[in-house]
Amino acid sequence: MNHDVIITCALTGAGDTASKSHFVPVTPKQIAEAAVEAAKAGATVVHCHVRDPQTGRFSRDVNLYREVMERIRESDVDIIVNLTAGMGGDLEIGPGEMPMEFGTGTDLVGPLERLAHVEALLPEICTLDCGTLNFGDGNSIYVSTPSQLRAGARRITELGVKAELEIFDTGHLWFAKQMIKEGLLDDPLFQLCLGIPWGAPADTTSMKAMVDNLPPDVTWAGFGIGRMQMPMAAQAVLLGGNVRVGLEDNLWLEKGVLASNGQLVERAAEILHRLGARVLSPAEGRAKMNLTRR
């Protein structure tokens, strides 16, 4: 069991959730306010996407990320900022016998363009989604090829940003370890992402299988989506890891009750406390993850 736990709060994500809950932050101001709320609730790290303020849809706009970062840094809280670098890998295959007629959900760019905001803003952590995945039950695929991943990993390392490797299935973990073997990554973090159709399911067997195949002595976390968010948080800690909660992965505090990011952090912290663990402060989290505050 891990007795000294990092809680990451994933604030908004890129999915079609803003229309489902008024708590999902959309504008840079709202996202930064959600980060402050999560920090005051006890989060160690906030994981940030941005959205188009007019439509609520996902965005890769560097200026939106800049505003979020500036607002967080100007606030009265200390929090570790983790920016997604997963945007730009979305491919919506055309319907039926017209697969090349890509849908409106397609947003496909190269590996370095996916890092434009990371290069401009140099957060303490950024993510690297470690493989291609059927995403959901329709025609959407998240695309991240071995060549793209090698290029992205190399650039993140050059920038001096800590990579958090997002692992959605066992093959992703296999390739993540290959990148470490090739010297492309320096002491990365691992995030085990469970329950996304059709990656690894959110259950004990899947999480333990991944944990048993992690490199030795790495810092890792795990999460489940939807109703499995809190069970997987507890499971991750029992297996020796850290946790992620937040509205990117789950909208509900309990059946019929919508949650805020702060409430989800508070619920996770309560569970950890009852298990006999404590939540690390951002300063303690930096020490555990070997981060340099920017």
Architecture in CATH for domain 4-289 = Alpha-Beta Barrel (3.20)
Instruction: Please write the tens of the pLDDT for every residue from 158-181.
Output: 999 999 999 999 999 999 999 999
Sign of CA dihedral 53, 58, 61, 67: positive
Predicted local distance difference test score (pLDDT) of residue 293: 72
Distance CA 197, CA 200 (A): 8
Least confident of 94-98, 134-138, 170-174: 134-138
Which pLDDT score is estimated for 84? 98
Residue 169: phi and psi, rounded to 5, are: -160, 170
Q: What is the pLDDT of residues 241-281, one digit of tens each?
A: 999 999 999 999 999 999 999 999 999 999 999 999 999 99
**What average pLDDT does range 232-236 have in this prediction?**
98
Q: Six-digit token pair at 213?
A: 């195949």
pLDDT at 66: 98
pLDDT of residue 109: 97
Mean pLDDT of 21-27: 98
pLDDT at 46 over 90: yes
pLDDT at 294 over 80: no
Burial level of 287, CB count in 10 A (0-12/13-18/19+)?
Answer: exposed
Which residue type, as a one-letter code, is found at position 202? A
Residue 71 tokens read as: 């607002």
Helix (H) or strand (E) holding 228: none
Using the predicted structure, report yes or no on whether residue 202 has a pLDDT greater than 90. yes
Distance (Å) of CA 229 to CA 9, 182, 199, 261, 271: 12, 34, 16, 13, 12
DSSP string, 89-147: EEEEPPSTT-TTS--TT-EE--TTGGGHHHHHH--SEEEEE-S-EE-SSSSEEE---HH
pLDDT of residue 33: 98
What are the structural domain ranges in the chain?
Answer: 4-289
Q: Assign residue 131 a region: left if phi > 0, alpha if psi is -120 to 50, beta otherwise?
A: left
Q: What is the mean pLDDT of residues 7-33?
A: 97
- Nearest-angstrom CA–CA distance, 29 and 269: 25
Give SS3 for 2. Answer: coil
The answer to whether residues 225 and 219 touch, using CB atoms and an 8 Å cutoff, is: no
- What is the mean pLDDT of the segment spanning 124-147? 96
Please provide residue 229's backbone torsions phi and psi, each rounded to the nearest 5 degrees.
Answer: -60, -55
Residue 292 has pLDDT above 90, yes or no: no
Average pLDDT over residues 105-116: 97
Confidence of residue 118 (pLDDT cuts 50, 70, 90): very high
Q: Average the pLDDT over 8-23 and give the result.
A: 96
Instruction: Give the pLDDT confidence score for residue 271 in this predicted structure.
Output: 98
DSSP string, 4-55: EE-EEEE---SSTTTTT-TTS--SHHHHHHHHHHHHHHT-SEEEE-EE-TTT
Does the N-terminal peptide bond of residue 198 adopt cis geometry, omega within 30 degrees of 0?
yes
Q: pLDDT category, 74, cuts 50, 70, 90?
A: very high
Percent of the chain with pLDDT over 90: 98
Q: Which residues are 192's β-sheet partners?
A: 167, 222
